[in-house]
Structure formats: C-alpha cells, structure tokens
Amino acid sequence: MLPNFRGIKENFVTTVKTISVIIPNFNHGNLVEKSIRSTFEQSSPPDEVIVIDDGSTDDSVKRLKKLAKEIPNLKLYLCKENRGALVAGMIGVRESKGDILFFRAADDILPYESIKLGREAFQKYPESQIAFGEILFFRDKITNGTVESLALSNETSFFSPKSLIELWKPDFNLPEPACFVKKRALLEQGGLFEEAKWYSGWLCFTSIALKYGITFIPKVLNTFRLDANSYGTANLRNKSTQKKVLRFLINRVMNLEKDLKDKFIDSGAFSIFGEPLKNLLNEEKRTLPKNSNLLINNALPREYLGTGLPQYGIAGVIVRRLLELRQKIDFIKRINDPKIAIYGAGTQTLIILEIWKRLRLPKLSLVTVSETNAVNTFHNLPIVGINSLEEREIDLFILSSKSFELEMASKLDDLYPSTNRISFWVKELTRIIEQP
C-alpha cells in the first residue's frame, strides 16, 4: 500500500525555495544517464534529483551508482524488486526535501530552461499549487517529435478554478510529465493511489487544479518518449482492469468534499475516458455511487436542449449564451439578406461556426479581423479587415475571443458605434438594438 497523507492545514501560499525532480527507473540503463545529466545541466538546476531504481535487471544500478558519486545533489534509492513506477514515484515523494516536485521518466530529455520556467511561474503566482506547460512527444528522435499544447494563453498565466472550468474542453488532460506541483498540495490529496494505477497522477493533479487553480506556461517543459508497451498503454487494452480503475476514480471523486466534487462534475473532466466510461455506466449503473451519473453524463457528449453539443468548456459557454440571446436576435430573420460578421478568426470561431449551424441560426456572412493577411477565406467565409467595412452594412457582430473581447468591443465602438453585437465572456458588452 502507498502511504496515505491527510490533515495538512499549512498555508499553501508560500515562497518557492527548492525544487526536487523525481525519476523512477526500470531497465533504462542505456538512457537514464543522459536523462539525469539533462536535468542537472539546466540554466537553473533543481536543488536535488531523486532517482528510484525499481529493481532493474540491466546495468542501470551500476551506471546510477557511478553518477551518484559524480553528482553531489543526486540521491539514489534502490528497490530490491520491481513494484512499478507509481510506488517508485511515491518513494521519491517521501524522500524529497523540495517545496516543488517535478516527476520525470528515465528515458526523457529535459529542455534547458524547464526548471527556470517552473521557478518563475511560482514566483509570479505564489497562490498556484500546480504549474504545467507543453510537452513534446517523440519515438526515436526529439527532432521528429510533435508538441502537444492546451494553449490556454500566449504568456505564463494563472487560471482560477472558475475560469479553468469555463475553459475545460473534451479530452482536456494535464500533461503529467510537464507538471510542477507543490508537495503540500499533493500530500493533501492523499498522494498517488495504487488503485488508480496509470491514472493516479491524473486524479491527483486534476484535483489540485480544480481546487486551487493552475498556472499555464506556454513553453515545452519536458519530452516524452512514446512506447507502445508502456505501463499505461498496455493496461488500457485490458478492459477488466480499465473498469476497476474507472470505478475507483468515480468512487474517489464522489467521496470528495462537496465543492471539489461539484467542480469535477461541472468541468466534465472525466471526458478523457470517453466510450469506456459510457459503457461502464450502461453496464453497471446500479452498482455505481449515488449521483455518479452526474459526473459521467457531464463528461460525455450529450444532448443539450436538443443541440447535440456538450455542456462543458468553451462550447458549453457559447451554447448557453446563444440560447439566452436567441429571442433577442430574432430580428435578424426580418431583415432581407442580413449581414452577420464574426470578429476573430481563431479556435473559438471554429466552435461558433459549428454551434451556429447546429442551432440553425441565420446564415453567417463573413469573418473580420483586425489585421488582414494573405488568407482570403476562413472555412468558406470571406475574410475582411475590420477597417474595410465602411461601405458594408453589418447587422450583427459576433465577438470571438476570450482574451480580447474588451479590445474588440472598444474597436467596434470607434468604428461602428450603433451596430448590434454579441459577446460571450463579458456579457455587458452585448448590444442588441430593438428593430422596428
């Protein structure tokens, strides 16, 4: 059994002093040295690196002992038998002295600025308990890898639990190998649970994020070597084990304090489990915890007032807002050949286009942007510069940007002060003039 930590009531808003990197290793003797050296050869090295050899049968131990003699801040813990990365990780937590923990795999390479960026994030937002960034996935060569990013912001930013829930989208998943987490927060959640197996990190980190908020760093913080035979990948193929894990996760969340449980429900965080979660509900509904259907249903694409759209994340916010305004914008139907412009050409616009179509709202006319470029169309809609619309009569503007709604509204106030407009995030920016 893994240690269970409870009752931590210290002040969580603290100045970050030390960072501990935890690296479980099992039979990566040919790669672990390079991984460890990349961890120490940082622009701002960690205060300690703890390597837990999980009963390796190759030459890992020999290599690690040699490195430990060479590097003073390398702490080596040897397990007599293989107990799995999860147990090894919690041994690292137990042995660590740092305020901040960073978990890594023994076959990955750490980018040069990673630790520095993690330190700076917590210095900038001391109230944050977890900070994460982008991750680069690769198989043989890092140069052929692909970057995965949740792209929450173009600069290091803190998101409160409320704003995080609003941003949550299907399959949103914190990249554990690119997460810095405060040790106190991890222990408060009980650490890593054996019963959760390969999703133990997801359960712990998601709980922390939903309870305290999260800091996003728009940089690659770690690399991850893809392996078809890895622990998590291999076990995901075992349907029986998968059901046991899902059942444990549901039970665990449904027994959390009410506020945190409600945040899990509202966020739709369980969407990462997709079809297996739906199957579990259909097969074992009677044996699941009371009201767990709320947790499950909010995580699955389901009918929302007949739209066929999910209730959570950006899409959910847009759906609810358009349904609120549906009657107010009915005047559009009375206009012959109405001109409806979407202001913004980013990811949110793609979501709006899909929702608009499903709600069967009046046909959209064009996309307008602040600065035009060589691209003339956006998903078959013409792109027109916002300053080039003087001779066009626009009946309705749709503001399409969470970060720049205020700036967009100000621009429209200058150029088209009496034109109707819809906002999604700052509702006060919406302006609908009653039509005769």
Selected residue with higher pLDDT from 340 and 13? 340
Determine the angle formed by the axes of helices 347-358 and 313-325, rounding to 10 degrees: 50
What pLDDT is attached to residue 237?
Answer: 55
What pLDDT is attached to residue 404?
Answer: 86
Buried/exposed code over 29-39 (b: 16+ C-beta within 10 A; e: otherwise): bebbbebbebb
**Interatomic CA distance for residues 84 and 93, integer angstroms:** 15
Q: Would you list the DSSP string of 273-304?
A: GHHHHHHHHHHHGGGSPTTHHHHHHTTS---S
Domains of the chain by start residue, with CATH: 19-226 (3.90.550.10), 248-296 (no CATH), 327-429 (3.40.50.720)
Q: How much of the chain exceeds pLDDT 70, in percent? A: 86
pTM: 0.67
Which range, of 59-73, 98-112, 307-321, 383-397, averages the lowest pLDDT? 307-321
By the 8 A CB rule, do 242 and 236 touch?
yes
What pLDDT is attached to residue 296?
Answer: 73
**Interatomic CA distance for residues 151 and 153, integer angstroms:** 5
Mean pLDDT in residue range 67-86: 92
What pLDDT is attached to residue 348?
Answer: 82
SS (H, E, C) 318-365: HHHHHHHHCCHHHHHHHCCCCCEEEECCCHHHHHHHHHHHHCCCCCCC
Mean pLDDT in residue range 172-179: 85
Q: What is the pLDDT of residues 217-258, one digit of tens each?
A: 999 999 888 764 554 444 555 777 888 899 999 999 999 999
Which range, of 133-137, 155-159, 219-223, 388-392, averages the lowest pLDDT? 388-392
What pLDDT is attached to residue 218?
Answer: 92
Mean pLDDT in residue range 145-171: 80
